[in-house]
A and B are shown apart, each in its own frame.
Chain A
Amino acid sequence: MTRSLTLSAAAAFVLLALGALVLPDWAMFLFAMALAKGLVCLGIVGMMRGGLVSFGQGLYYCLGAYTATLVANTFGVSDIFLLTVLSTGVCLAVGLAFGPLLASYRGIFFAMLSLALSMVLYGSLSKMSFIGGTDGLNIAAPTFLGWAPEGRALQTALYLYVAVMVVIAGTLMRIYFDSEQGLIALAARDNELRVEYLGASVRNVNTYSYVFGAVLGGIGGTIAVLALGHVDPEFAFWTTSGEFVFVAILAGYLSVPSVFVAAIILEMVRSFSNLYFPNTWQLALGIFLLIVIVVLPDGLGSLVRRRKGDAT
């Protein structure tokens, strides 16, 4: 890990931690949710670097959330660290099972297959009345290594937890993006034939990024359900996955921090347009995305990482 990356990670954490001191409760919740969703979107951005876009990341977001909820409600586990590890483990296992299968597909076929998997989960959960059906399930507030905060302290602890996760995941993804494997993924996005004729497997490259996306989806889903206190099948619905893709396009594939900035922008635009234009807020969101695509085709990240001999 380079000195500049260490400093960037430390600065990002300090900046996020400052939010815990200055943000009001409503904004802290909004930021925590945006950052949790940003983790899911980071997984999509990882896939985008290899040339794939998953329209079914709601699968892992939902799976992580349901796993945490079922473990908490069934076994009485409330520790946020343990719940995160368990739900991430389930998502990792599912990602490893589906990854090699989906990695053989490209473009619209990959997008639709990933979407189909998330919709299968959505349909299945909706019909399972013993785990709440379409009403979903509630989950109690988490504990932090035995500490059970309430009120503002709980909000702050959750916010700081997601901040730590964002910094760790962001740093690890930056290391991956800059690594030899990350460079090969960029090459595969550009010219699969060349990569195969150099002796690397593009299928493996895509499997890795899919599995990373599954893990990040699981972490994001776990944090989101703990912040909301409720999960329902909508977590896996296509509109949820569409939001993640929206953020990934808004962010672009060049920069890690831009993913979280884009996720926060989306939450802000959505919250305020919902407040001021309750019936037409989706229209505002659509116009916003259109402007970004026209003005910044490589996303927000291209503002800070303009390419001049620097691909990553």
Chain B
Amino acid sequence: MTATVLDVRDVQKTFGAVTAAQDISVAVPEGAVYSLIGTNGAGKTTFVNMVTGYIKPDAGTINFGGRDIAGMAPRQITRMGIHRSFQIAQLCNELTVEENMLVAGAIHGNHRPSFLRNGHNAEARDRALATLERFNIAEHRNRLIPELSGGVKKLLDIAMAMAGKTSIMMLDEPTSGVAADEKFPIMDLVIGALRSEGVTVIFVEHDMDIVTRYSERVLAFYDGRIIADDTPDEVLSDADVRRYVTGAAA
């Protein structure tokens, strides 16, 4: 039996009169690939933001690595092994692709970032290049971020998040803003890389073809609640999910 890597219990979050999370409970097994679906405002990103420390839940616990991480700072949670990418890729626009990777490598390296060791040292550059090659974006290494396509930005965002030791990777809409013909190749690359390292993946997605193809389990959100938690086939055929999420006829 696979151990639970992330155990979320009775998490609540409200923003004024709006309930963004209501009694959210989910246990994610190690190495699983979960997708989060739901309409805009259903609570998917709020869930990701609470797990990664961007917002603090009003109540409930989020257990990871034997600790309740609810309310911890993002950098503490990241250091523990929960990494994330963003709906809008969060990159350093004034730096090149390689330098963005060097920053990630300097922070996630085997030692604390140094005041003396050159940030562009050969070993760090080799490591950065290896990661970029793994994500098929090495050819862009000397380009600045504004010169890149949406797909390359997404891949770099994920590659940076993966620079450290990762237990759980949370991907917020990994294919949004990506050209239609790039979506599946990007997901093949990303999910393949994460699976090969045994990383647990939780991704937010609106494209049901991607949800069906890549996830083992789906959490359907509606109005701040989880209305279905099962395999993709079961969830996508659920009457409530068809009514409130996918919009298909019941």
Contacts and interface: CB of A to CB of B under 8 A. Distances in A.
Interface of A: 2, 175-176, 178-184, 186-187, 189-191, 193-201, 208, 307-309, 311-312
A187 B103 CA distance: 7
A139 B120 CA distance: 46
Contacts of B113: 179-181, 184, 200
Contacts of B99: 183, 186, 311
Interface in B76-98: 78-79, 83-84, 86, 90-96, 98
Task: Give me the 10 closest cross-chain CB pairs, A-B, nearest first.
Answer: A183-B119, A180-B106, A190-B92, A199-B78, A309-B142, A180-B113, A194-B90, A187-B103, A198-B107, A180-B119
Contact of B94 (A181, A190, A194): A190
B94 A179 contact: no
A197 B106 contact: no
B116 A184 contact: no
Residue of A191, A199, A311 most packed against chain B (CB within 10 A):
A199
B103 A197 contact: no
Interface in B58-90: 73-75, 78-79, 83-84, 86, 90
Interface residues of B, number: 40
Nearest to B106: A180
Interface of B: 52, 73-75, 78-79, 83-84, 86, 90-96, 98-100, 102-104, 106-109, 113-120, 124, 142, 160-161, 163-164
Contacts of A182: 115, 119
Contacts, number: 110
Contacts of B160: 194, 198
A183 B52 contact: no
Given A175-B116, A179-B118, A309-B142, A199 B92 contact: no
26 contacts: A180-B109, A180-B119, A181-B106, A183-B102, A183-B119, A183-B120, A184-B107, A186-B95, A186-B99, A187-B92, A187-B100, A190-B95, A191-B90, A191-B93, A193-B90, A194-B90, A195-B103, A195-B107, A197-B74, A197-B78, A197-B84, A198-B108, A199-B107, A199-B108, A199-B164, A200-B75
B90 A186 contact: no
Contacts of A200: 75, 107, 113
Given A186-B95, A197-B75, A208-B115, 12 more contacts: A180-B114, A187-B95, A190-B92, A190-B94, A191-B91, A194-B90, A196-B73, A197-B90, A198-B75, A199-B78, A199-B164, A307-B94
A308 B147 CA distance: 13
A2 B117 CA distance: 11
A199 B106 CA distance: 10
A201 to B, nearest CB: 6
A9 B44 CA distance: 55
Contact of A184 (B91, B93, B96, B103): B103
Given A175-B116, A178-B120, A198 B78 contact: yes
Nearest to B85: A197
B108 A194 contact: no
